[in-house]
Structure 1
Amino acid sequence: MTIFATNGAKLYIGGAMAATSVDLVQGDFSGQTANWKEIGEVEGLGSLGDTSAEISFDPVNRRRTKRLKGNRSAGTMEVVCGIDYADEGQLALLAAEKTDAEHAFKLVLNDAPSGGTPSERYFVALVGSAGEAFDAANSVMKLNASLWVNSNIVRVNAAAGGGS
């Protein structure tokens, strides 16, 4: 079993892209190639993943609550960055917060096998907030952004490099 550290991961923001009523696939993000901007000085990436809403029903003849799965939500990814006023990715994140448009995001993990490619995650989100935190004297000023994920998370697994 192999585990991997989060360090070395990279988060990118792309251009405006609407979530669809069906699950997205990697090819849906191919038009973003020229738009990707790495968000610099990322300290924390938060979490991603689906959770189903609970639908409960209490039939009187069973004396036990029945539970069903409702809509799925990929949640909110809480991103923390050290503020860099010149970073193109942070500037794009701030600009995206000022709009009602959903944007493409790509997360590249640091888990590539030797000579291979790393895992990637693709999703569409609204930038719900982009606030600054200043804290105490011996602190780095932070940009805290909430990404409200409105699509499925497209998982691309790490792959071994081609043989010779």
Structure 2
Amino acid sequence: MSLFPTAGAKLYIGRAKAQKSADFTEADFSSETWTEIADLENLGSLGDTSQPITVAHIGYPRERTLKGVRSAGTMEVICSVNNEDAGQIAALAAEKTKHDYAFRLVLTDAPETGSAPAPSERMWIAKVMSVSEAYDEANNVPKLNLSLAVNSNVVKIAATTGD
């Protein structure tokens, strides 16, 4: 197991992307144009959860739980407000539409060996549900809070050595 820091990770927004009935694959994002969202402070969480389905039968003393549809939830991203950042501007524009957008997270776990090491990545589509500013206390900078409602599976691409 190799530990790595979140510091240095990069989040990108792509173009509007339609949902599909099957899971997305890496190839579905190969022609995407990416714009980095800068000044990240917190990336929140990302991953599937199955919705519970419960049933209580009269003849059984215990409620039964089944797994229903999966949801990757809402990723809460926090940035320092940067009115000149193209990625933050793109996220603001995406919030004003009803479309899903492609997102890409590049982590910091590239191997230290190999001819062209590359870090692992995550890609998915999401609706930008909200974009709000938080001003907090005096000894702080304004924050841009992005709520990304994930509407697909999360494609995981492993880190590689490039060999």
TM-score interval, normalised by the smaller of the two chains: over 0.9
Alignment of 1:1-164 (within 5 A): 1-32=1-32, 35-114=33-112, 115=114, 116-162=117-163
**For structure 1, which runs of at least 5 residues remain unmatched after alignment?**
none
Matched residue type, 1:101 = H
Asked if structure 2 preserves the Cα contact closer than 8 Å seen for 1:113 and 1:161, the reply is: no
**For structure 2, which runs of at least 5 residues remain unmatched after alignment?**
none
SS of corresponding position for 2:51: strand
Query: Whole-Å Cα distance in 2 between the matches of residues 86 and 3 of structure 1?
Result: 34
Query: Whole-Å Cα distance in 1 between the matches of residues 63 and 4 of structure 2?
Result: 40
Matched residue type, 1:149 = V
Say what the alpha-carbon RMSD is for the aligned residues: 0.8
Query: Whole-Å Cα distance in 2 between the matches of residues 86 and 42 of structure 1?
Result: 14
SS of corresponding position for 2:5: coil
1:53 deviates by: 0.4
Matched residue type, 2:58 = V
1:89 deviates by: 0.3
1:12 deviates by: 0.1
Report the TM-score when normalising by structure 2.
Answer: 0.96
1:18 deviates by: 1.4
SS of corresponding position for 2:65: strand
Asked if structure 2 preserves the Cα contact closer than 8 Å seen for 1:124 and 1:150, the reply is: yes
Report the TM-score when normalising by structure 1.
Answer: 0.95
SS of corresponding position for 1:31: coil
Matched residue type, 2:4 = F
Query: Whole-Å Cα distance in 2 between the matches of residues 16 and 30 of structure 1?
Result: 14
Aligned-residue identity in percent: 54
1:161 deviates by: 2.8
Query: Whole-Å Cα distance in 2 between the matches of residues 66 and 27 of structure 1?
Result: 39
Query: Whole-Å Cα distance in 1 between the matches of residues 18 and 148 of structure 2?
Result: 14
Matched residue type, 2:63 = T
